[in-house]
Amino acid sequence: MKAALVDPIGLDNLKIIDLPDPEPGDHEVLVRLKYASLNYRDILTVNGGYGRMQKQENLIPLSDGAGEVIAVGPKVEDWKVGDRVMSCFFPDWQAGPMRSEVVRTNLGGMNDGVAVEKRVFRADALVAVPDSVELRDAATLPCAAATAWNAVIEQGKAGPGQRVLIQGTGGVSLFALQFAVAAGAEVYCTVSNEEKAKLVRTLGAAHTVNYREDEDWGKSIMKLSGGRGIDHVVEIGGAATLKQSMLSLALEGRISMIGVVTGPKAEINVPIIAMSGTTIQGVSAGSRHSLQRLVHAISYHKIKPVIDEKRFTLDSLKEALQYLDKRMHTGKVVIEI
């Protein structure tokens, strides 16, 4: 079977190799992966960006995949051949709050991922894909959607009467937008051009500000909100966006700290946070139970993940990662396996 392998670490060293078909152990399931999706984090991992927190050689990348069960171990009761399944970002995080021991179980970083035709999973490290959700769509959920779901719904508790700010049109942001709209919140979105403004309005955003034309967008959003400010910012930018996010925020507002697309270090003004009663909370994907709740919501609300129109395969994974890195995409980049 085919697999993508990065060795030594570095995107230039990504190659497609042949590996023997794996076999499931007693409590394991063999899955024929059909689709995988890319996350910004995959650009970091294929280049060794997580240092000691990831494999630095012989890495099979990517965390998010979906496919069909093709064999089950003798002691597996929950799955049968033909079941449609998706991976979990942290296979050991079943439920409840995050614990340090689950962090090291992430796929496509500390452990081999899903850029492979067939892969063995522990039976409790998969989530069922309902008939109403296409496998291609399911492959976009384990990291970006799970993170957005936790930020906006499970931790952020967004709902009617709240103003939520989303940054740009990447994977996490568009899921956050769709969840906030489904929850009844009023959504503001920073965008890089008019085409993207149209897209987010189609998805239910009420207000847009072009962050390229308006460097002081934090103040503009505060003005647009009638001076009340944003209740909940889904922060994916980091270095270049946090200050503007703070300027847009309501008293007692919340910032979900998720990403670093503009850099990892930002200055914070402690007295302003203290006097404004701001909550800053880190968000990191989510548990298996949380992913199950998210899948139910996607199915019930008929939420269709936004997938970039450019098509890639396992053979063109390197080009797909370059495409993501150059920010040529909108929403999720998916590869067919």
Ligand X SMILES: NC(=O)c1ccc[n+]([C@@H]2O[C@H](COP(=O)([O-])OP(=O)(O)OC[C@H]3O[C@@H](n4cnc5c(N)ncnc54)[C@H](OP(=O)(O)O)[C@@H]3O)[C@@H](O)[C@H]2O)c1
- Contact set with ligand X (CB under 6 A): 39-41, 143-144, 147, 167-173, 190-192, 196, 211, 236-237, 240-241, 258-262, 283-285, 324, 327
Q: Are strands 163-167 and 186-191 parallel, antiparallel or unpaired?
A: parallel
Q: Which is nearer to ligand X, 71 or 178 (CB)?
A: 178
Report the residue number whose CB is nearest to ligand X. 170
Q: Is 333 helix (H, G, I), strand (E, B) or coil?
A: strand
What is d(CA 144, CA 330) in angstroms, rounded to the nearest whole number? Answer: 13
CB of 155: closest distance to ligand X in angstroms? 12
Neighbours of 82 (CB within 10 A): 8
Q: Which is nearer to ligand X, 261 or 298 (CB)?
A: 261
**DSSP type of residue 193:** S
CB of 167: closest distance to ligand X in angstroms? 4
Q: Which amino acid is at 24?
A: P
Q: Which is nearer to ligand X, 188 or 211 (CB)?
A: 211
CB of 26: closest distance to ligand X in angstroms? 31
CB of 263: closest distance to ligand X in angstroms? 10
**Using CA of residue 64, residue 68, residue 71, residue 75, what is the dihedral sign?**
positive
CB of 177: closest distance to ligand X in angstroms? 11
Q: Which is nearer to ligand X, 141 or 285 (CB)?
A: 285
Q: Which is nearer to ligand X, 185 or 261 (CB)?
A: 261
Q: Which is nearer to ligand X, 67 or 142 (CB)?
A: 142
CB of 169: closest distance to ligand X in angstroms? 3
Q: Which residue has the tokens 């740009």?
A: 168
CB of 50: closest distance to ligand X in angstroms? 10
What is d(CA 210, CA 194) in angstroms, rounded to the nearest whole number? Answer: 8
Would you list the DSSP string of 11-72?
Answer: GGGEEEEE-PPP---TTEEEEEEEEEEE-HHHHHHHTTTTGGGS-SSSB---SEEEEEEEEE
Q: Bin 4: left if φ > 0, else alpha if -120 < ψ < 50, else beta.
A: beta
Would you list the DSSP string of 314-325?
Answer: GGGHHHHHHHHH
How many CA atoms are closer than 13 Å to the CA of 251, on its beta-carbon side? 4
Q: Which is nearer to ligand X, 79 or 188 (CB)?
A: 188
CB of 61: closest distance to ligand X in angstroms? 14
CB of 30: closest distance to ligand X in angstroms? 27
Q: Which is nearer to ligand X, 30 or 199 (CB)?
A: 199
Would you list the DSSP string of 97-166?
Answer: S--HHHHTT-BTTTB--S-BSEEEEEGGGEEEPPTTS-HHHHTTIIIIIHHHHIIIIIIT---TT-EEEE
Q: Which is nearer to ligand X, 152 or 258 (CB)?
A: 258
Listed residue (117, 38, 62, 64) closest to 323, CA to CA: 38
What is d(CA 65, CA 85) in angstroms, rounded to the nearest whole number? Answer: 9
